Amino acid sequence: MGNTVAVKLNLTLQKYAPAGEGSAFALELDFPCAVADVLSRLGIPEQEPVLVTLNGRQVLADASVQAGDSIKIFPLLAGG
């Protein structure tokens, strides 16, 4: 598990979880990488509006990801 990050997909983004996984799972990655690489690996389209936290702090897509990090991805919702 040395090359993994913990990922949690929330609400409508759960459809991007790997087959057989729930909304929270470990994802094996090649490092170094960025949040954008994680989103791409999961198949989340670039145009999908999301909010990402990395170890509890909101980050942009170019933030660096390290082994052992925790990533939570939320859809941006609009209401009226």
The per-residue pLDDT for 78 is 65
The pLDDT mean for the chain works out to: 94
Global confidence as pTM: 0.92
Where do the domains of the chain lie?
4-75
**What's the one-letter identity of residue 74?**
F
pLDDT in tens, 7-42: 999 999 999 999 999 999 999 999 999 999 999 999
Alpha helices in the chain (DSSP H): 35-42
pLDDT at position 80 is: 63
- Rounded CA-CA distance 76/5 in Å is 22
Q: Assign domain 4-75 one CATH number from 3.60.21.10, 2.60.120.380, 3.10.20.30, 3.40.30.10.
A: 3.10.20.30
φ/ψ region of 28 (left if φ > 0, alpha if ψ in -120 to 50, else beta) reads: beta
pLDDT tens sequence across 38-61: 999 999 999 999 999 999 999 999
